[in-house]
Structure 1
Amino acid sequence: MKNQNPIHVFATWKVIEGQIENVLNLLKTVHDESVKENGNLFYTIHQSIADPNTLLLFEGYTSEEAVTEHRNSAYFQEIVLGQIVPLLQNREIVLATPVAYL
């Protein structure tokens, strides 16, 4: 049976020294476009207190298909993959679904 639960994306980005402001400026557009998507539940960006060059993104989508649509969007391809990823030292992404307790 297909997963009917929402999908959450946990992404940790380690930004190259000196590039944090550039990445944050680009992420403003990514955020604004992401929250317009039909399948988007939320899109939040966090900056580490211990290491300001580390960003944590917490995103929610209605389904796996919505995540795929997000990743295939023109702005994601152009801004995230084309402009932000080259400014990252490391990028980790985990897809998860909430655990329902009885």
Structure 2
Amino acid sequence: MIFVIASIKTTDEDRPGLIEAARVCIEETRKESGNLSYDLHQSVTDPNAFVFVERWQDREVLEAHFASKHLAVWREIAGPLIVEKSVEIISPESVEGL
């Protein structure tokens, strides 16, 4: 099993657009074969801070997710709206920075 923890920050102005883009991406991602969970959490202390918590069957299905059309759309729309990000891929064997 593979976990992905992706922390992102946006601005007050861009928050609604980021949330809508995330909603679409989450909906499509949850349909992917090998996706065990894909959730977005908003900070209770900073409304512009979000964390994606993902669980994947294995690295192969995660790589397929990285190549998916809906993730490309997410990156195109959300990329300019994100002011800070950190992504970690966690497996039983290691933790990688991305």
TM-score w.r.t. the length of structure 2 is 0.89
Q: Max radius of gyration: which structure?
A: 1
Q: Which of 33, 36, 45 matches 2:31?
A: 36
> 1:85 — aligned with what?
79
The answer on 1:69 being equivalent to 2:49 is: no
Task: Give the superposition deviation at 1:81.
Answer: 1.3
Paired residues for 1:1-102 under 5 Å = 6-78=1-73, 80-98=74-92
Unaligned runs of 5+ in 1: 1-5
- Runs of 4+ aligned residues of structure 1 deviating over 2 Å after TM superposition are none
- Sequence identity (%): 26
1:9-43 Cα shifts (integer Å, max 9, x gaps)? 00000113311111111111101100100010001
The runs of 5 or more residues in structure 2 that have no matched partner are 94-98
Shift of 1:98: 4.7
Q: What do residues 63-85 of structure 1 show as CA deviations (whole Å, max 9, x unaligned)?
A: 1111111110011012x210101
Question: How many residues align structurally?
Answer: 93
C-alpha displacement of 1:94 = 0.3
TM-score computed with the length of structure 1 as normaliser: 0.86
Q: Take 1:91 and 1:37, find their aligned partners in 2: how far apart are those partners?
A: 24
| Distance across 1 between alignment mates of 2:90 and 2:33 | 19
What's the counterpart of residue 3 of structure 1? none
